[in-house]
Chains A and B, each alone.
Chain A
């Protein structure tokens, strides 16, 4: 009896948020007086499993097989389902990434287990797992609990739980076999085209977001540019917001208006139909703060709003508000930070 935690990897390395899943797994495991078993699948599984022992797992399972090298839902899901069916853990925990979400749901369906998704708080009471999660685009909280015996599949929001501190490893790594052979896997990857400059908004501790107002760039578009508005906005994202993100080591977000207008790609969109983020610091630049935008960033620890309109709704949720022109304030802020942080 244990709590299983799936450690998501990328290129043979653990994603940093995966250790948060170990932290959440320990919360549940402590409630039942059991240990945490990390499960690592794919490239360098044994190496990452060894590392999991340093981050608080009391044992680890590793499976490295040619069918598992990179993440594939169809190949990964049955391994976790089989572990749950065979070992009846109290819980299976994963971070609510795209992969974590689909694996947890698959295991719940395969094994008729409870599922609690995208939770931000966890506890164990009377032998049941109790979880809180935001619903209705973060406008409300729901508190749900597992019932009866059996395993609870849990996905946790990134940055909602603390990763255990790295310490000395104890426990051992066991190797387990894959479940499906390549012949019985019905989905086949034909090609993959990596996109340069991927954005990792959900993991970011600092996010600088730009809105529609980024098109009010005072710089003139060069002659012959087809769409001056788009050029100005793209220039503003690259040369006004990016330098600020660079000094802070932050990621770039955007409002839907900015994405829809073609200023920046959809991968950057924050909000109800974009990403939900909760960084330590969120700086909203020329974003009015529509309710659908708030839905994606309201759980940020400190929100700074920079907007020329003192009546913009974003000021109602900000901790610090700066009324003024982003094209003056942001460069001043970048310069100030460079000086103060000694960069």
Chain B
């Protein structure tokens, strides 16, 4: 039995991200981090693998830079890591990503649970999770804030989901695709020993041929990335006693017609 989770590296959230004159995205000298949302999924994969007596495998799709996230995952305590790279996946769009990811899950044996973080902080669409679930034909549970029970013998799972209007308890058959929220756990920090072990690990790289999958026709292209138009607003400081500041601000807001 195993639990699979996906992750990748994203620029540090404090990085200054820019589009250079060559149209390529740079984030200066800033480092990459494991996608912050995925830390919760990684933690949950470790916990639940122990819980069901199986192993936890983490997969990244993309070039070498994503090995960082995989090493971080191994250092946290994931059992195995795999990276998928293929020229045909560069650049990757939602459909081809889902096809490759679903093929990777199918290649692994006896997968009960596929875990994702809420979204990737950089391109953040949270569409990948859904698309993989549909390609795998597994049910999907998003915004899971607690795994209440997994019964591998009966092939069922019960979870709590945090939705906009409240909390929902829902059951599903296994295998299932889940995305987790930050309420689900406190991700652990990699231990010193974990970091040492991970730094020595060689991470297998699978190509599309290894996965035995051909990609669907590409349906979208990114034409260009651009920097935000410079903010044309100049800040106007409103000074004075609080009552004066309040009066002047209300004058301005009425002029702006936002009240």
Residues of A within 8 A of B (CB): 73-74, 77, 98, 101-102, 104-106, 108-110, 112-118, 130, 135-148, 150, 152, 186-195, 198, 200, 206, 248, 266-267, 272-273, 280-281, 290-292, 301-305, 315-325, 328-329, 331-333, 335-337, 340-341
Tell me the interface secondary structure of chain B in the complex: mixed
Given contacts A187-B141, A336-B247, contact A113 B223 (CB under 8 A): no
Stretch at the interface among B168-176, B190-198, B203-211: B168-176
B163 contacts A102, C-beta separation under 8 Å: no
> Smallest CB–CB gap between B80 and chain A, Å?
26
Please pick, from A98, A108, A139, the residue contacting B17 in the complex, using a CB distance under 8 A: A139
Is B19 an interface residue, CB under 8 A from the partner? Answer: yes
CB of A143 within 8 A of CB of B222, answer yes
B223 near A320: Cβ-Cβ < 8 Å:
no
A136 and B122 within 8 A (CB): yes
For B227, the chain A residues whose CB sits under 8 A away are 140-141
Given contacts A315-B237, A340-B250, 4 further A-B contacts (CB under 8 A): A101-B125, A101-B130, A198-B166, A336-B247
B134 and A110 within 8 A (CB) = yes
Residues on B lying within 8 angstroms of A by beta carbon are 11, 13-14, 16-19, 25, 36-37, 94-95, 98, 121-135, 139-143, 158, 163-173, 182-183, 216-228, 231, 233, 235-239, 242-243, 245-247, 249-250, 252-254, 256, 258-259
Q: B221, A321: Cβ atoms under 8 Å?
A: no
Q: Which residue of chain B has its CB nearest to the CB of A317?
A: B231
A332 contacts B165, C-beta separation under 8 Å:
no
A116 to B93, CA, bound (A): 10
Q: Are A328 and B242 in contact (CB under 8 A)?
A: yes
Which of B170, B221, B239 touches A190 (beta carbons < 8 Å)?
B170
Pick from B172, B224, B239: contact of A187, CB under 8 Å: B172
- What's the A-B contact tally at a CB cutoff of 8 Å? 246
Residues of B within 8 A of A336 (CB): 243, 246-247, 249-250
| Bound-complex Cα distance A49 to B2 (A) | 45
Smallest Cβ-Cβ distance to B173: which chain A residue: A186
Q: Is the CB of A109 within 8 A of B122?
A: no
B183 to chain A, nearest CB (A): 7
Q: A140-B17, A319-B235 are in contact. Are A116 and B140 (CB under 8 A)?
A: no
Q: A135-B122, A323-B237 are in contact. Are A144 and B249 (CB under 8 A)?
A: no
* 13 pairs, CB–CB < 8 Å, chain A vs chain B: A101-B125, A112-B95, A135-B123, A137-B13, A189-B170, A190-B158, A190-B170, A192-B168, A206-B259, A273-B182, A319-B256, A322-B245, A336-B243
A132 and chain B: residue at smallest CB distance: B226
Residue of A nearest to B216 (CB): A112
Given known contacts A117-B127, A137-B13, A341-B259, A193 and B94 CB-to-CB distance under 8 angstroms: no
A102-B142, A114-B220, A320-B252 known; A291-B166 Cβ under 8 A? no
Expressed in whole angstroms, the minimum distance between the Cβ of B130 and any Cβ of chain A is 4
> Are B134 and A106 closer than 8 Å at their CB atoms?
yes
Task: Determine whether the beta carbon of B130 is less than 8 Å from that of A195.
Answer: no
Given contacts A148-B219, A192-B167, A335-B246, whether A109 and B134 have CB atoms under 8 Å apart is yes
- In this complex, which of A145, A206, A318, A336 has the most chain B Cβ atoms within 10 angstroms of its Cβ? A336
A137-B122, A195-B166, A323-B239 known; A281+B220 contact, CB < 8 A:
no
Contact between chains at B235 and A320 (CB < 8 Å): yes
Nearest CB of A to B66, in Å: 16
Residues of A within 8 A of B98 (CB): 109
Q: Is the CB of A136 within 8 A of B127?
A: no
A191 surroundings in chain B (CB, below 8 A): 168-169
Bound complex: CA A113 to CA B231 (Å): 35
Whether A140 contacts B258 in the complex (CB less than 8 A), given A114-B220, A193-B167, comes out as no
User: Min CB distance, B138 to chain A, in Å?
Assistant: 9
With A98-B142, A186-B139, A302-B258 known as contacts, the answer to whether A332 contacts B242 (CB < 8 A) is yes
Is the beta-carbon distance between B236 and A321 smaller than 8 angstroms? Answer: yes
Q: Establish whether residues A292 and B182, one from each chain, have CB atoms under 8 Å apart when the complex forms.
A: no
Contact residue among B123, B132, B135, B250 (Cβ-Cβ distance under 8 Å from A333): B250
The 6 closest A-B pairs by CB, nearest first: A114-B219, A105-B130, A109-B134, A105-B127, A332-B246, A109-B131
B14 to chain A, nearest CB (A): 6
Of the candidates A74, A150, A272, the one whose C-beta lies within 8 Å of that of B121 is A272
Find out whether the CB atom of A146 lies under 8 angstroms from the CB atom of B219.
yes
